[in-house]
Amino acid sequence: MKNTTYDVLIIGGGPAGLSTAYLCHKNGLSYLVLESGKAIFQGIANSYPEGKLVYASKPKDAPDPFMVDELRPPDKPVTVESYLQYVQHFVQHEKLLVQTEVEFEDIKDERDGLTVVTSKGNFKGKKVVLSFGSNIPRELAVYGDAKMVAKNVDDASKYIGIKTLVIGGGNTAADVIINILKTKREAGDTHPVYWAHKAETFDVNKETAQRLGEEILLGGNIRLLPGALVRIGEVDDEGVDRLVIRINEFKQEDGIDLYHALSFPMQNVIACIGSQGPVPIFDKLNIQSIACTSGVCKIAKEGERLVLLSSEFESTRKGVYVIGGAISPSYMKISEGSIAEERHPNLIYTAINDAYYVVESIRAKLAK
Ligand SMILES: Cc1cc2nc3c(=O)[nH]c(=O)nc-3n(C[C@H](O)[C@H](O)[C@H](O)COP(=O)(O)OP(=O)(O)OC[C@H]3O[C@@H](n4cnc5c(N)ncnc54)[C@H](O)[C@@H]3O)c2cc1C
């Protein structure tokens, strides 16, 4: 399969990516969706609270209907669980081509198209649509982190029988810990979960603290590591990628620092250190963005950087398009020789309709 050159490679299997896939499928363009999560719509599954109703919201001044009716949420709101179930069935029924657990990393220019570099190897495409949403997990910025360290937990049972390290000081880290502690406790596993945070205090809300307290009192084995700093990623003698965290440090008069550190196999580590907008990824990909200066932007704040896109959502990197939540709440639109900030609400509606216009544009370019 990897020798195939797809018409369109789609990064992210949320509303924007799957609408792109469906429209490619309907119009005879070859395509493949690369999704980092365990399943399609992982972004929504991770970010919506249980039982949340999904609304078919449409911006007031938007002239178009939902351009892919098949993926629009019903008019009468349903829970996120039933919307996800509906979308799963739709994807199976249409046999849309999706590869899950593939993490997008980079794009390289080739003479005859683009190569997308991922955690599972390279894929070739004539066009690339970036539809990875707005929630990009922060990296620890050490060697090996991007590939090896988990950013959330899909299946806590894989941490049974191993000492686990969770990094981060907020509610997300605490929720991950509660989940792992409970799973370990129910399986009779006494290996501890280490909770490391760079600050001296943890910062969780009362409800989460109560749930965590309950889990500890029921027998959850947790070791707190406040003031612990992530230092380096390294490969040990046996070829295992490891993460070293420094748990305390003593400065000595002779200028030699003494410290204690713990080293964990990276696959035992989960980093819940928040999310960031996609600008660092655009920088890495050499996709141009522009900083808002005073008086230029109405939605973005002064100093914020907005990605520069054509009216067909093509970026300054030829053949690479950006759509959906990744360009919300606004981007810089180039049209008729001028550049202006364009409002782009983060809604399923915008994600779906962006896909429609991008596929129309790609069809015209590839004459399909
Ligand atoms: C709590 C909450 C409630 C909301 N309620 C509504 C609502 O009722 N109605 C509405 O219209 N909108 C709602 N929204 C907004 C809506 O969910 C988003 O606008 C929409 O999901 C954006 O779609 P997307 O496809 O651009 O991004 P996403 O849905 O975020 O999908 C992006 C996908 O890309 C994947 N991905 C990320 N990085 C990579 C990578 N490196 N490699 C491969 N894949 C990657 C992710 O796992 C994800 O599956 C809500 C948002 C939140 C947070």
Place of tokens 């009779």: 188
Spacing, Cα 47 to ligand 1 middle (Å) = 8
Q: Residue 129 in contact with residue 32, Cβ under 8 Å?
A: no
CB 85 within 8 A of CB 73: no
DSSP secondary structure, 88-114, as one string: HHHHHHHT--EE-S--EEEEEEETTEE
Sheet holding 289-291, edge to edge: 289-291, 305-310, 330-335, 338-343
Q: Is the CB of 273 under 6 A from ligand 1?
A: no
Please give the structure tokens belonging to residue 227.
């003031």
| Residue having the nearest C-alpha atom to atom 15 of ligand 1 | 347
Q: Mind listing the pLDDT tens digit for each residue in 165-181?
A: 999 999 889 999 999 99
Is it the case that residue 1 has pLDDT exceeding 60? no
- Contact predicate 324/13, CB 8 Å: no
Q: Which DSSP state fits 338?
A: E
Structural Rg of the chain based on CA atoms: 23
**pLDDT score, position 69:** 96
Predicted structure pTM score: 0.80
CB 300 within 8 A of CB 308: no
Using alpha carbons only, give the angle 182, 188, 190 rounded to the nearest 5 degrees: 85
Q: Is 44 in the pocket of ligand 1 (CB under 6 A)?
A: yes
Establish whether residue 233 lines the binding site of ligand 1, counting it when its CB lies within 6 angstroms of any ligand atom: no
> pLDDT tens-digit profile of 203-233?
999 989 999 999 999 999 999 999 999 998 9
Interatomic CA distance for residues 149 and 334, integer angstroms:
38
Mark out the alpha helices in the chain (DSSP H runs). Answer: 15-26, 42-47, 80-94, 145-148, 171-186, 206-217, 279-284, 348-366
Smallest CA separation from ligand 1 atom 46, residue: 43
| 51: confidence class by pLDDT, cuts 50, 70, 90 | confident
Read off the pLDDT band of 81 (50, 70, 90). very high
Identify the pLDDT of residue 143. 78
Per the CB < 8 A criterion, the answer to whether 67 and 27 are in contact is no
Determine the straight-line distance between the first and last CA of the chain, rounded to whole angstroms: 22
Per-residue confidence at 186, pLDDT binned at 50, 70, 90? very high
H or E element in which residue 363 lies? helix 348-366
Q: Report which of 43, 6, 304, 275 is spatially closest to residue 129, judged by C-alpha positions.
A: 6
244-273 tens-digit pLDDT: 999 998 999 999 999 999 999 999 999 998
C-alpha span between 297 and 290 (Å, rounded): 11
Ligand 1 neighbour 137 (Cβ under 6 A): no
Distance CA 252, CA 265 (A): 30
Q: Is the dihedral of CA 324, 327, 328, 329 positive or negative?
A: negative
- CA 8–ligand 1 middle distance (angstroms): 20
Query: Which atom number of ligand 1 is nearest to the Cα of residue 134?
Result: 30
Residue of minimum CA distance from atom 9 in ligand 1: 55
- Ligand 1 lined by 325 (C-beta under 6 Å): yes
Q: Return the ligand 1 atom nearest residue 54 CA.
A: 8
Q: 3-state DSSP helix/strand/coil percent for the chain, to nearest 5?
A: 30, 30, 40
Q: Is the CB of 42 under 6 A from ligand 1?
A: yes
Expressed in angstroms and rounded, the spacing between residue 351 Cα and the centre of ligand 1 is: 9
Cβ proximity of 165 and 245 under 8 Å: yes
Asked whether residue 137 carries a pLDDT value surpassing 80, the answer given is no
Is any ligand 1 atom within 6 A of the Cβ of residue 11? yes
- Ligand 1 atom index nearest CA of 323: 26
Distance of CA 347 from the midpoint of ligand 1 (Å): 8
Query: Using one digit for the tens of pLDDT, what is the confidence trace for 82-134?
Result: 999 999 999 999 999 999 999 999 999 998 899 999 989 999 999 999 999 99
Q: List the Cα angle 159/277/48 in 5-degree steps.
A: 55
Mutate to test the pocket of ligand 1, among 50, 348, 350, 353 (most ligand atoms within 8 A of CB): 348
pLDDT average, residue stretch 349-361:
98
